[in-house]
Amino acid sequence: MRFSIQHSRAVAGNNITVGVEGDGPEVIARVTTNLDGFEIGNDEIDPPCVSYERQFLHAGEASPLMEHELVVTVTDTQGNTKSADRRWQDAT
């Protein structure tokens, strides 16, 4: 799986875009997205696909120097999981 994660600070919270591409025979059956320990997305993909993208607007909180962790977990049709982790700190 190839992951693409972009984030930017919004007026309130963060704007986040998550993308996943399956490699070869890999397919995407479920994608869960957690920001700072809270689930912000849990998508079951039916039928499973090879490409996924979702945008989250004004997600979570933001303040000067606040640290964030975004974890994206993909499950395939066999129940195997792969994850990507992105960490950043808000600007002052």
CATH of residue 6's domain is 2.60.40.10
Chain segment 19-33, per-residue pLDDT in tens: 999 998 999 999 999
Structural domain that includes position 80: 2-89
The count of structural domains within the chain is 1
In the β-sheet with 2-9, what is the strand arrangement from edge to edge? 2-9, 14-21, 51-59
3-state secondary structure of 92: coil
Does 91 score more than 90 pLDDT? no
Quote the pLDDT of residue 36: 96
Question: What would you report as the CA-atom Rg of the chain, rounded to the nearest whole angstrom?
Answer: 14
Sorting pLDDT into bands at 50, 70 and 90, what band is 92? Answer: confident
Sorting pLDDT into bands at 50, 70 and 90, what band is 75? Answer: very high
pTM exceeds 0.85 for this model: yes
